[in-house]
Every structure is written in C-alpha cells, then in structure tokens.
Amino acid sequence: MEKQNYNHLTRTFQRLSRFGHLSAIAGWDMFTYMPPKGSAARGEALAELSVLQHQILTDKKIATLLQAAAQEDLNDVERANLREMTRRYQEAVLLPESLVEEKSLVGTRCEHGWRTQRPANDWQGFATNLKEVVRVSREEARLRAEAKGKSRYDALLDLYEPGMTSAKLDVLFGDLRTWLPDLLQKVVAKQSQRSMITPVGPFATGTQRELGLEIMQLLGFDFDGGRLDVSAHPFCGGVPEDVRITTRYDENDLVSSLFGVIHETGHARYEQNLPREWLGQPVAHARSTAIHESQSLFFEMQLGRSTAFLRLLLPKIIARFGAQPAFDVQNFVALNQRVERGYIRVDADEVSYPAHVVLRYEIERALIEGDIEVEDIPALWDEKMQHWLGLSTKDNYRNGCMQDIHWTDGAFGYFPSYTLGAMYAAQLFNAAKRALPQLESDVAEGNFTPLFDWLSQNIWQHGSRFTTSQLIANATGEDLNPLYFRKHLEARYL
C-alpha cells in the first residue's frame, strides 16, 4: 500500500520546519544583535510567523490525513514520526489563532523590557509586562486542561516533558527535600575548613572568548554548523544545521562564561547530532526539554566539573592568562567543585542547583493554577530562598525573581526540566562509565571520542523516535532513577 497520506504529511511538516528555521534565526538575532528600536517590529514579524505556522498545522485536512496515515504500511521510524506529528497537531488545535499571536507579542514585549528593567531592579515595570504574559498563559493552560482532563499546570508541563505530571514531580522533589538540605549543609561545612584562592582578574573578554572557542572545539562543536555570540542570558538556539549558542562575559569572573559555554555546547552537540536523514520531521526533534537539559548538564557538571576534565582545562587557562596562585592544580579543582549558597541559578553549583528549580516550580505552578498573583512572587521567592539556601532576596529583584527570561515568554512548565535533566545526566554518565572502563583516563588525555560515540549511539541519533522512558531504559537499563544523582553528589562532594 502506498503511503500517500503519510507522504503528504511529511511535506507539510517539512514546510513547517522551514518556517521554524526562519523564526529560530530571527529570535536568535533579536537576543544578540538587534538594535533596541527594532524590538516592536521584530515582535510583530515573529508573531505573524507563529500564526502562519499555526494555520498550516491546524488546517482541517491535517486531522483527516493523520487518521488515514495511521492505516498505511509504515515502518517503525515512520510510525514514531506519525505519533509526533499527531501530538503536535493535537497540541496546536487546542489554541485559537488570536491567542497564539497574543502570546508571541506579549512575550517579546516582556523580554525586551526585562533587558533594562533587570539592571535597574525595576520590579514594578517588569511586573506590568509579566501580568500580561501570565494572563495569556493561564488562558492557554485553561484551554489545554479542559481538553486533556488535566490540571492547568500539568497541561503546560506536558508540552515540555510529555507524560510528566505534578504528582510524579512531587514524589521526585519530595525525595530531594529529605536529603538535599542536609547534604548541602555537610558539604559547605566540609569545604569551609579549606581556604581557597580566588583568581584575580581582569580577564579580557576577547581572551575569554578565544578560550571558549578552544574548549568548544575540544568538545567536538562543528563550527561549520554553528557559532558563539553574546546575549544577556545564555542560550542555545538556531536549528540543527545552524546552531547558535551564546554566553555573557564578566572581566572579573573567568569561569562563569566558560562553564556557560560548556553547558550550551552540550545542548549544541545534541542538536548537531540529531538524525540528519529525518531533519525537518518531528521524529528528528530532541526528545524533550529534560533530555535536552540532561545533555547540557552532562557536559557542564558530570564531565566539565570532574577532576580529570578540570586538570585538562587548567593548562589551557594558564596559557592564555598566565600563572597565578589560584591556578595551582589542587586549588583550581577545589574552586570549581566549590559548593556555595548563591542567588543566581545559572551560576549555581550542582548541589544547590535543585533548590533554585524546586523553588520556581512551586511558584509557577501556584501562579498558573491561580493560587497566587504576580504581586505575590517577590515575597514567596524571598521566603523559599531563605528556606532552601538561607538567603534573603527582599527588594533584590535583580538577583531574585527577575534574574532570567524563562517566564517572559510564558515558558511555564519548563523549570522542572533542569532538575529532571540533572537526574538523567547522572544516570547516563553512570551507564557510560560502565560501558567505557577507560573513560576517566580518556578524559584526562582529552580523548572524548568514545564518550561522544556512546552518547550518539544511545541518545543523539534517536531524536524523538522513542518516548523518554524508552530512550533512558534503552541507554541505561532502567527508567529514571534519582538515586544515581544522589550517589553522584555524595561521591564527588563528601
């Protein structure tokens, strides 16, 4: 039997992918090089593009084609592609065109305002825009929840992490609560007995950039299919054929931008190694946001903060910035495995990081469910920061609830992906070590080929062919098991 209906769908999704390509590059430009006065026009152009994609995806004939294609003789990959096509159609058809356009417009406005409001600590100005984003996001959540028979927050969570629910998260995060605060306290106490020397800057941003590019090359980034730039908040964007990653530089802090680059390179390697023969089809997309975060945290934390990698990195730093007491090897390793209670999530060590994520998960869920309002965020943020990390953010919005852009575009439901990603990363690294007995010595010698081949075979090349549970079980022999994350933290820090 011919695959006439399925083939028609692949052509439609290829077209959608091309519009998505334009949207991704226009979005990257907006965050990097676009002059401030271009914001309103760019926002309208991106909104127009999102409406066009929505119209194509929700055309009445798509439903008929999906049903007919399900009866055709498809192989395993085609059937997985059809499953992902169906999912994308079902998600899109729940929203009216007007809401898709409005969400894009209010998100662009909020993010653009944030760029000047954050440095000015202007919560009132930010809150005015954020209220509009929350209003639109609540309406989206209501429509999705009613159609899916889920809670409003779960309906949004499902967009980022298919199959995940608040009930499952509450179990995973509830377990964290039983041991993480105690572990954090023990590690901080243990490390306080050792004095560490902090590197003395300034570290020229041009030289930091050169170092970042060198490390990206070491980690296998394909510069013929991507580039590194600067933005207010680090991110990985673009498309698999043209991956754009960004960082931000501080002349007094060498490692913040460097590990930001390593983190985003993890995202980028995943994108650059998605199944090329299926690009343009939903099955070639990254499996989920938690799997995506698992790749960046695999690079930044599991690999990047390992003693073997830090020892490999140090001579490259000395070659560019010269020797100083802080660059003694023992001190350098200790410094980059230091655990501190801090305000900023993207700069947090891997022990305190989950606290930042659970805090936001609890706030954003209450916000979407309508249990709290935007005005309540600062006080709740302060209360939860004090509970988890013993820090107050009272009146310090810049380093508190305004520190990054995740809420500006209505990405509610994304935050749990970071800690789920950390758990997946620990489980994957454990499986890689079992499969590659020479891994530590390979890393020490700068030979990453066996590790990246393992990741490619087990994660990257599959795209969205399998569900998240299947993908992880195939790679590690079991579904998500948070015990690996705990064991990793205890082994490295205690």
- Positions marked catalytic: 264
The answer to whether 414 and 292 have CB atoms below 8 angstroms apart is no
What is residue 234's three-state secondary structure? coil
Which of 58, 103, 112, 110 is closest to 85 using CA atoms?
58
Block residue for tokens 């500006």: 408
Distance in angstroms (rounded) separating the CA atoms of residues 243 and 257 = 18
Question: Residue 4 CB: number of other CB atoms within 10 A?
Answer: 12
Distance in angstroms (rounded) separating the CA atoms of residues 246 and 285 = 21
**Triad 155, 159, 164: Cα angle to 5°:** 70
Maximal C-alpha separation, the chain: 72
Distance in angstroms (rounded) separating the CA atoms of residues 35 and 291 = 34
| CA 204 distance to own-chain centroid | 28
Distance in angstroms (rounded) separating the CA atoms of residues 282 and 5 = 16
| CA 381 distance to own-chain centroid | 21
The answer to whether 152 and 367 have CB atoms below 8 angstroms apart is no
